[in-house]
């Protein structure tokens, strides 16, 4: 299974023609009914350096086996996307807005999980000025949201204070 996961992850992270087939085979043969392997399948796609990565990850939110109410599945897709350096930190800021939108959704379901996801923004001062501004705008949006949980608010406000 380790070899299968490693091979699939390698193909998932590449824009090669075998990518979709490898992901479909992994899902059909191994991930259905096994949440641990399913989470690996979500993560493979969340961290992939392929064109349209954000759109692909966003589409996975509607996958029948994904649920925002399941913390492990949230981390395997939503939090994992924040580790996708190229696509999360795209210059247009769409990755930042997407994560902030998910944090607001998850905060209503599981405030502790949402708070952990907020840490993806905590190092924003390490990036160039443009990205800092885009991340800061999302942090300010989060902290200004009525009903935002105490735990998440604390992490976001601490990030803003720097």
What is the per-residue pLDDT across 123-149, written as a single tens digit (0 to 9) for each?
999 999 999 999 999 999 999 999 999
What is the per-residue pLDDT across 19-49, written as a single tens digit (0 to 9) for each?
999 999 999 999 988 999 999 999 999 999 9
Q: What secondary structure letter does DSSP report for 139?
A: H
* Cβ atoms within 10 Å of 133's Cβ, excluding its own: 12
Could you tell me if 156 and 150 are in contact, meaning their C-beta atoms sit under 8 angstroms apart?
no
Cα Rg of the chain, angstroms? 16
Q: What are phi and psi of 70, to 5 degrees?
A: -100, 110
* Cβ atoms within 10 Å of 35's Cβ, excluding its own: 13
Q: What is the pTM assigned to this prediction?
A: 0.94
Could you tell me if 133 and 115 are in contact, meaning their C-beta atoms sit under 8 angstroms apart?
no
């Amino acid at each position: 299974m380790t070899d299968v996961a490693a091979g699939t992850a390698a193909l998932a992270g590449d824009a090669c023609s075998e990518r979709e087939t490898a992901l479909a085979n992994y899902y059909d043969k191994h991930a259905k009914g096994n949440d641990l392997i399913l989470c690996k399948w979500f993560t493979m796609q969340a961290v992939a350096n392929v064109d349209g990565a954000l759109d692909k990850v966003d589409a996975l939110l509607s996958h029948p086996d994904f649920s925002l109410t399941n913390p492990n599945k949230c981390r395997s897709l939503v939090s994992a996307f924040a580790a996708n350096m190229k696509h999360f930190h795209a210059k247009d800021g769409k990755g930042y807005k997407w994560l902030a939108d998910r944090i607001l959704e998850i905060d209503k379901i599981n405030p502790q999980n949402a708070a952990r996801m907020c840490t993806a923004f905590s190092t924003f001062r390490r990036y160039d000025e443009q990205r800092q501004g885009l991340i800061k705008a999302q942090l300010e949006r989060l902290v200004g949201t009525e009903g935002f949980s105490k735990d998440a608010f604390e992490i976001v406000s601490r990030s803003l204070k720097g």
